[in-house]
Structure 1
Amino acid sequence: MNPARPAVALLLGAGLPLSAQPCTPQWDVAAGNPGISGGYAAPVRLWNDASGPGLFVGGSFTAAGGSAANRYLARWDPVTSAWSSLGSGISGGFTNAFMTALVPFTPGRGPERLVAAGFFDTAGGVPGTASLAMWNGTTWEAMGTTWTGTTRGSIWSMAVWNGRLYVGGSVVNSQPSPAPPGTGYPIGGAAWQGVASWDGQNWRSDASSVINPGGTTPVVNAMAVFNDGSGEALYIAGRFTSIDGVPGTSLIARWNGSSWSSVGGGLTSTSPLFGPEALVVFNDGTGDALYIAGYTFFGAGVSTTNVAKWNGSSWSSVGGVLGTGRITSLAAFDDGQGARLYAGGTAMPGFNYIARYNAGSWQILGGGVTGAAIPPGNFPSVFGLGVTPDRLYVAGNFTQLDNTLSANGLAAWKACPASCYVNCDGSTGAPVLTANDFLCFLNKYANGDPYANCDASTGAPALTANDFLCFINKFASGCS
């Protein structure tokens, strides 16, 4: 026996586990059964409305939970697994109606709302809610005067910055597309040219000219707020070659609240038909950086890739080309094994439409999404990733996970529970902390296990009576 440690009796019973068993993250298919039908799911957002926290899911689907009342946008209760509509629901008004973004925003006149955006006629039948509306937990509200005249716009991205709600997208109507520079289309009386913002009362156009000379309509697909070291700014990405005539603003640009600027000289798409579709801020251990993804592109310091990293001063590729399709979504999530970058999309051979970046390479996540698409005849795809404290929700048009688990358009990658030091025996029942944890600690202490160095002392001996006091205090505080 080590004379530096007080003698302790080995009280641990033969059948008691000595330590917590390693946890393996796994798929949770509750939300996908019955899930959605008649289309795909895309934006996913956890939001606390009048009835408590719920998972809000949007897309092009015509039913959720088996109910047509839940078309395009619905709420799923993580506790009861029940689906419900938001008021009288979303009216498409078009054959290809869809929901693209869900963002909480607090307008100046009241509490936080959930803003829903996409391409639709009305929300809850409320006038002035075409393609953009607010849900206050019980009813739908218009956001000032949005589209005026005969125009109808599609919103593809949203972000909140400096007290304003920013929206990005494109316009679909009978007028020339894109609009002549400086004219735009009216959104709340402001000339709309792909980027606009709202302070809760008034709309403002934040771009006078967004162009894509390849012949396809320019569109702003993604937005994110990022600090490159010189202060926070709004970053946008999409299918465009310049914004407001500023050089080096192809595919991505930076807005400081009053003017646009280049981000590392911009990027170049390998096809004028496609552009980036996702932005996210993630720290890979070297500091926060802005990640961009979409159809293949290249730029200064970036060989052809689907995903690239902007660290505030230079570009770099992230893992090479993921496939022949588009990366539609990015997310930063810690599943209990460390924070990682996740990517979902279309046509990703070898990755089954969902991958995780780890140790310098992309890896398939849990066998990926598989099975027939929704509706049949298409390929499975992932169109949205939503992060909650303990789950990464994966949304798209699939019917299986890893070719074994059934899930219709929605599933969650469930994280391991946060570790609790004093749960020495790794029990999962209630109560989690029991006398067995003391016995487990005593056994580890007697065996000189580094786990027993509760106070993290570095002197000699490392294990002392202080570790007992430390363990008792932590046990009294419980697992948080």
Structure 2
Amino acid sequence: MELSSAVVELGRGPLTAGAAAPVTAPPPTTAPAGATPSETSGPPVASGGPAAADAGWSPLFGSPALPGDLVAVAVSGPDVYVGGNFIYGMAGMANDSHLRIAHWDGHGWHPLGAGLDGAVRAIAVVGTDVYVGGDFTVAGGTVVSPHLARWDGRAWSAVPGSPTDPDRSYGTTVRALASDGTTLYVGGTFTRAGDVDCHSLAALDLATGRWSEPGGGVRSSYSTEPSEVRALALRGTELFVGGSFDRAGQTEVSSFASLDPASGTWTAYGTGVRDDDLQGFVNALAVDDATGAVHLGGRFTRAGDVHAWNLAVLGADGFASLGDVGSYGGSNAEVAALAVTGSGLYLGGSFTTVGNAATQHLAVWDGTAWAGVGDGVDNVVRALAATPDGGVVVLGDFVFSGALRVVHGAVWSGTGWRTFGQGVNADPYGGGTVAALVPDGDAVYVGGLFDQAGQLPVRSVARWDGQGWDALAGGVTATISHGQVFAMTSLGGDLYATGAFQTAGGRVMNNIARWDGSAWLPLGDGLDDAGYALTVLGGKLYVGGTFNLAGRVRADHLACWDPATSSWSAVGNSPRYDDEVRALAAIDDRYLVVGGTFQRFFDQNTTVVDGLWGMVLFDTAAEHTDDLLTGYRLLEGTSRYGGPGWVHALHVLGGDLYVGGWFDVAGIMALGDQPSPGFPAANLAVWHFAGDGSWETCGGGTDHQVTALTTTAGVLGVGGWFSRAGAVPAARVATFDPAARSWSVLGSGLSDGERGASWALALAPSGSDGLWVGGQFPVAGGAPSDNLAQWTGS
């Protein structure tokens, strides 16, 4: 469409040099002059919402970071259950959101109700039920079920007669669980289950709820304290038991034995496991179903008559060693976890060598030799569990595998790491920023400040294709620390990115670069300082920021790149903006709207114009003259607390230009023959450029800054640092329907989690009615979402 004559007149003619006319703005609507949001109302509080309202948020982009104190894991199909003694740190969520247990459903993390009030040490999945053992006494906040509880997928219930020790108020726990589907075997430190004396080993008939003591349990002959069962494993109907004990029923053993549950008969294996002349202990057991071999891991130096440091295998011919597990040349190491998968035997714990292989805390035996797993991990492994696709879940105290962050947990596929969550971040705590988004069909380009996307090392720009991440040939870097991408757009099938960086794809490219689908290419000599905004107009690329030179052309914060000639040019005669250009928009493929934090134009060190209020319009079709301000036209702007407002975002929808930022007055004009004081507008306003040229507020605006605008499903998507849009509670993101002049929320929106304040900094349409959201946040829709989220539609 062409601009109406009313719109041209609204600009009130060409912008000319001269002093600003005195203008008195309406009183601020949000705070007195000089105040900041935190001084008046504090950070906005994210609104809550029912879980059903959040069904439109994708769970894919959670933080890969898991909490510390993870010691238990169970896998059933795509479902992974993890337990420990954590109350915070679950994928960036707020404290107490996942109390000591969590469920991964193949896509995202979920709490199990209100969790447990004490540590979880063992998990077993039996059919549709999840049995959990540990140090707790209450499940789900109300169910009293000491040391053993059941989750049925919806709620917690007590396990009647769960293990106790009536004679002691300390030390009672459940450390191991195993089930054949009809009986649940329970091991730990206790003396009673139901109305039956059970010495650290008990069996629960799942059909009748009756407890029994298999084979008379296990004991210590030298102590009246209960012994400890730490590991259970089934080979057919045969139950293998490991821990710290020297008697199984009436049979002398040493921390390891097997039981025939049908006859109650125990089998000892030579002298069991010994640590020199002392009794050793077993932490982990794993059965190889293909061969029947039973693997033992723990702390010992001998298994039967075989020299074996901390690891042994029991086969048809008795014990054998697969190689010593040591630490810095000695036996002072410990195996904490074992798992058998299609790719081999996995071993986790605290060690530096296994056999002849140097490996840190995690190793794999392929049947002939030991090897490290990837680049190893930098701290102790506490738990392992095989996955149906031949991988293994690895949990522990580690943070890194080489340079890759796998904070406290990930899945090793056999060839590489797969994290829980595909979010983007810049440190182990989920830091980082997504500041720019460009859709590409079902895929999306993501730019900001980050060095990892899911399990892929990246550098501040990457592409998500719906299944995985592409690092885009190494992304961007800065001379010091990370490079940053502040804005991106597409032109001619290529992606353009600007920000603060010195290289792209390993080549020198100053603050702006072009991705052609396979490589990064420079735009001449680039920019001499940061670029913050991009838009396309007339087949050319316009960029705004804080730079003075574009290529070798003096540009002073605003420049134009022509792909046809591969050349830079100034916009008009390049008056110098006194502050940042933060937002750009194109109208009718002719007019360039410029927004930011500026108030003046300079010619060298002389003020030429004062009173721009953060917005101006440039006519790219204007006849060029020698006048410094050729092509520029007046445009109403914004004010904040009596000074210039901050314009963060500009977006054209239909015949309207939407302006978002931090301001309490819009439509202010200090120049020309029709100055205007403007009108109260809370951080969002609209200019009806294709209509009567008027300005107005948008449904009452928002209670804090607006930083991103886009179109989704024919309405306006709005993102920022607000907790209310109009009269509607809206956490950082909402939509505004111009026809109905009404706001809608996207479930419970974004929230702060454990990191503090959350922001939506970038928006882009996703599909026909969805929305991509980028920013600084750990939670979207009440679930983990690390700086990137996708609303798939209501």
- Could you say whether these structures have the same fold, taking a TM-score greater than 0.5 normalized by the shorter chain as the test? yes
Structure showing the higher strand proportion among its residues: 2
Determine if the alignment matches structure 1 residue 119 to structure 2 residue 85. Answer: yes
Q: Distance in 2 between matches of 1:250 and 1:307?
A: 15
Distance 1:105 1:198 in 2: 14
Deviation (angstroms), 1:105: 4.4
Looking at structure 1, the residues matched to 336 and 328 of structure 2 have their Cα atoms a distance apart, in angstroms, of 15
Give per-residue Cα distances to partners, 1:341-364, cap 9 Å, x unaligned. Answer: 110001334311000113453222
- Counting matched residue pairs gives 291
Q: 1:295 aligns with which of 244, 247, 250?
A: 244
Equivalent residue in structure 2 for 1:328, among 273, 278, 283? 283
Residues 148-189 of structure 1, C-alpha deviation per residue, up to 9 Å, x if partnerless? xxxx41111111114210000113xxxxxxxxxxxx434342
Once the two structures are superposed, the pairs formed by residues 24-103 of structure 1 within 5 Å of their partners are 87-92=63-68, 98-103=69-74
SS of the aligned residue for 1:217 comes to: coil
Number of the residue aligned with 2:352:
399
Aligned-residue Cα RMSD (Å) equals 2.7
Alignment of 1:90-239 (within 5 A): 90-92=66-68, 98-105=69-76, 112-122=78-88, 123-124=90-91, 125=93, 127-147=96-116, 152-171=117-136, 184-208=137-161, 210-212=163-165, 213=167, 216-226=170-180, 232-239=182-189
Aligned equivalent of 1:240, options 190, 197, 213: 190
Change (3 A) 1:86 1:405: farther
The farther-off stretch of 264-273 and 346-355 is 264-273
Aligned residue for 2:202?
253
Structure 1 residue 136: Cα displacement: 2.9
SS of 2:332 mapped into structure 1: coil
| Pair 226,315 (structure 1): closer, same or farther in 2 beyond 3 Å | farther
2:363 corresponds to which of 411, 415, 418: 411
Q: Which runs of 5+ in 1 are unaligned?
A: 1-84, 93-97, 107-111, 172-183, 418-480
Query: Given that residues 235 and 255 in structure 1 are in contact (C-alpha distance below 8 angstroms), is that contact kept between their aligned partners in structure 2?
Result: yes
Aligned ranges 1:303-314 → 2 under 5 Å: 303-312=252-261, 313=263, 314=265
**1:367-425 C-alpha deviation (Å, 9 max, x unpaired):** 2211339xxx99211000011013010101000122x32100000111369xxxxxxxx
- Larger relative CO (CA 8 A, sep 6+): 1 or 2? 1
1:264 aligns with 2:219: no
Flag as ranges the 4+ runs of structure 1 deviating above 4 A: none
- Check conservation: 1:301, 1:317, Cα contact below 8 A: no
Answering whether residue 248 of structure 2 is matched by residue 279 of structure 1, we say no
Name the CA distance, whole Å, in 1 between partners of 2:289 and 2:350: 24
Report the equivalent of 2:606: none
Over 3 Å counting, the alpha-carbon distance change for 1:279 and 1:91 in structure 2 is closer
SS at match of 1:343: strand
SS of equivalent residue, structure 2 residue 300: coil
CA offsets, 1:107-126, max 9 Å, x none? xxxxx421111111231215
Mapped pair 1:343 → 2:296: yes
Normalized against structure 2, the TM-score is what?
A: 0.35
Partner of 1:372: 328
2:614 paired residue number: none
- The structural deviation recorded for 1:104 is 2.5
**What corresponds to 1:25 in structure 2?**
none
Bigger fraction of residues in helix: 1
Specify which of 319, 329, 332 is matched with residue 270 of structure 2.
Answer: 319
Q: CA deviation at 1:332?
A: 1.1
Question: Partners of 1:128 and 1:293 in 2: how far apart?
Answer: 34
List runs of 5+ in structure 2 lacking aligned partners.
1-60, 370-794
Cα distance change, pair 162–134 in 1 and its aligned pair in 2 (3 A): closer
Equivalent pair of 1:296/1:321 in contact (CA under 8 Å): no
CA distance in 1, matches of 2:175, 2:62: 25
**What's the CA shift for 1:291?**
0.7
TM-score by length of structure 1 reads 0.56
> 1:354 aligns to what?
311
Residue 297 (structure 1) shift: 2.9
Identity, % of aligned pairs? Answer: 25
Cα 1:223–1:159 change in 2 (3 A) is same
Contact 2:248 2:257 in 1 (8 A): no
Could you say which structure has the larger radius of gyration?
A: 2
CA distance in structure 2 between the aligned counterparts of 1:303 and 1:378, rounded to whole angstroms: 26
**Change over 3 Å in CA distance of 1:255–1:140 after alignment to 2:** same
Change (3 A) 1:348 1:207: farther
Q: Is the 8 A contact 1:214 1:273 kept in 2?
A: no
